[in-house]
């Protein structure tokens, strides 16, 4: 009975199941070359879809307010957003080995009318938990000096994660726990920009990255399905074994023998 006793002893150490980290959405802004030369964003390019991650193409960035939708035509003949630029970015927070490339840069605009404008990141967190968000940013001396970052469930305010981010003129990385959006289908991260003092003053953002847990890996020794390994899993194994239920056939030979107890014990000790 030493084997069974060992299982019972080990069972009292509760082990949580392991969550699977997932790359949800990522924007690198590294492909903003224009046909006529130079870099920028076309007038119809927003909502701007995620370039990588499980929500590639469905998670989006929108630009709201101010005069962010004002357009101009480049010398190369491309109609682009006038106050939304693709200035040099950074590889500081690059996730997939991509080069620095460009950035999403918002300028103050005529009479600094882009003060109060917003960058809105939309994604589906209905099946996600332990959400995490990071990005890189810098400004210019006359660019946006105060950035509010809030979380929304659709149009309903959830929480503030950054009451007033102050940037410098060199890129830095910023990271936030956004688990308040866990399980939210219409999840939104909203940047509100303020403090620009000139038309050309700007904020440059890059490498927006959302990560979360998309589920729990199957754990066959969690026989009672509660997401943990406890004595109740051992008791369930005993019940299956005593009833001749092949769910206790852990060595897969089609029979219930002491070897099934040994395999169960080993997997239980390893945990999930």
Q: What does the domain layout of the chain look like in residue ranges?
A: 19-216, 230-264
Higher pLDDT, 183 or 5: 183
Interval 116-173: pLDDT, tens: 999 999 999 999 999 999 999 999 999 999 999 999 999 999 999 999 999 999 999 9
CATH classification for the domain delimited by 19-216, as one of 2.60.120.260, 3.30.800.10, 3.40.630.30, 2.170.260.10: 2.60.120.260
Mean pLDDT of the 65-69 span: 98
Greatest Cα pair distance, the chain, in angstroms, is: 84
Q: If you average pLDDT over residues 211-223, what whole number do you get? A: 79
Mean pLDDT value across residues 208-232: 82
> For the chain, what is the radius of gyration of the CA atoms?
26
pLDDT of residue 25: 97
> What pLDDT is stored for residue 19 in this prediction?
46
Task: Determine the Cα–Cα distance for residues 260 and 248; give it in Å rounded to an integer.
Answer: 7
* pLDDT the model gives residue 103: 97
**Looking at residue 215, what is its pLDDT?**
67
Report how far residue 149's alpha carbon sits from residue 165's, in angstroms, rounded to the nearest whole number: 8
In tens, the pLDDT along 243-252 reads 998 889 999 8
- Residues comprising the chain, all counted: 272
**Are 102 and 29 a contacting pair, CB within 8 Å?**
yes
Spatial CA neighbour of 195 closest among 164, 172, 169, 173: 164
pLDDT at 18 over 90: no
């Amino acid at each position: 009975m030493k084997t069974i006793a060992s299982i019972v002893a080990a069972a009292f150490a509760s082990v949580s199941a392991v969550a699977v980290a997932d790359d949800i959405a990522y924007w690198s802004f590294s492909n903003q070359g224009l046909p006529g030369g130079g870099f920028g964003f076309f007038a119809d390019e927003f909502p701007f879809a995620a370039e990588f991650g499980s929500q590639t193409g469905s998670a989006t960035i929108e630009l709201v307010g101010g005069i962010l939708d004002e357009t101009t035509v480049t010398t190369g003949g491309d109609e682009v957003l006038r106050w939304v630029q693709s200035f040099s970015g950074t590889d500081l927070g690059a996730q997939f080995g991509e080069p620095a490339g460009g950035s999403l840069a918002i300028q103050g605009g005529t009479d600094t009318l882009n003060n109060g404008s917003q960058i809105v990141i939309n994604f589906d967190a209905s099946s996600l938990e332990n959400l995490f968000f990071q990005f890189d940013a810098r400004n210019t001396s006359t660019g946006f000096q105060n950035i509010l970052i809030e979380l929304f469930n659709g149009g309903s305010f959830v929480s503030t994660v950054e009451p007033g981010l102050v940037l410098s003129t060199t890129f830095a990385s910023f990271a936030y726990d956004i688990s308040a959006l866990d399980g939210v289908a219409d999840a939104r991260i909203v940047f509100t920009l303020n403090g620009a003092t000139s038309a050309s003053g700007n904020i440059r953002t890059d490498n927006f990255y959302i990560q979360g847990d998309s589920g729990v890996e199957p754990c066959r020794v969690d026989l009672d399905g509660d997401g943990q390994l406890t004595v109740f899993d051992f008791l369930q194994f005993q019940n299956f074994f005593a009833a001749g239920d092949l769910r206790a056939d852990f060595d897969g030979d089609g029979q219930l023998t002491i070897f099934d107890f040994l395999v169960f014990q080993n997997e239980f000790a390893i945990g999930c």
